[in-house]
């Protein structure tokens, strides 16, 4: 009887160790993919030259907006409350980490011109 109990105990320990090993290997080998997404926005006389509409990112991605406008303006991403002053005919770069999920409009703040929406999907 003692031999059977010892065999069962050893078997249970081996199964548990095997399961723990499998779980630890699975987690370590699962890559975390973080992308950098660049979106170029060209504005001429208050009108969007490149129609982006809805742009997509995944939670954790780095999102870079490169904006070129022929007028002084302020570019603003709602929800993230990130903005940058645009100097006439000088490229402006706004970078954010997409840590919030949902839909976030971006616009020219001074003229209240909506340019598109950043949609961030959860991982």
- Same domain as 69, residue 108: yes
Same domain assignment for residues 82 and 55: yes
CATH number of the domain to which 95 belongs: 2.60.40.420
Q: Over the stretch 17-74, which tens digit does the pLDDT of each residue have?
A: 566 666 666 555 556 667 899 999 999 988 889 877 899 999 999 999 999 999 999 9
Do 36 and 62 touch, CB atoms closer than 8 A? yes
Q: Are 115 and 47 in contact (CB under 8 A)?
A: no
Residues 26 and 41 in one domain: no
Structure confidence at residue 3 as a pLDDT band (50, 70, 90): low
Q: Do 74 and 102 share a domain, yes or no?
A: yes
pLDDT at 46: 83
Tally of domains within the chain = 2
Q: Based on the fold, state whether residues 58 and 91 are members of the same structural domain.
A: yes
Indicate whether 6 pLDDT > 60. Answer: no
pLDDT of residue 81: 94
The boundaries of the domain holding residue 66 are: 36-121
Whether residue 50 sits in one domain with residue 24: no
The pLDDT tens digits for 7-26 are: 665 656 555 556 666 666 65
HSE-CB of 74 using CA atoms within 13 angstroms: 10
């Amino acid at each position: 009887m003692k031999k059977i109990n010892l065999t069962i105990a050893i078997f249970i320990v081996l199964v548990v160790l095997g399961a723990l090993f499998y779980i630890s290997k699975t987690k370590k080998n699962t890559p975390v993919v973080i992308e950098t997404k660049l979106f170029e926005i060209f504005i001429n006389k208050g009108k969007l030259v490149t129609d982006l509409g809805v742009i997509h990112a995944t939670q954790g991605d780095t999102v870079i907006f490169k904006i070129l406008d022929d007028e002084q303006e302020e570019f603003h991403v709602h929800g993230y409350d990130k903005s940058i002053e645009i100097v006439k005919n000088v490229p402006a770069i706004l970078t954010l980490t997409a840590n919030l999920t949902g839909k976030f409009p971006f616009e020219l703040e001074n003229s209240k011109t909506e340019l598109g929406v950043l949609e961030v999907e959860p991982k």
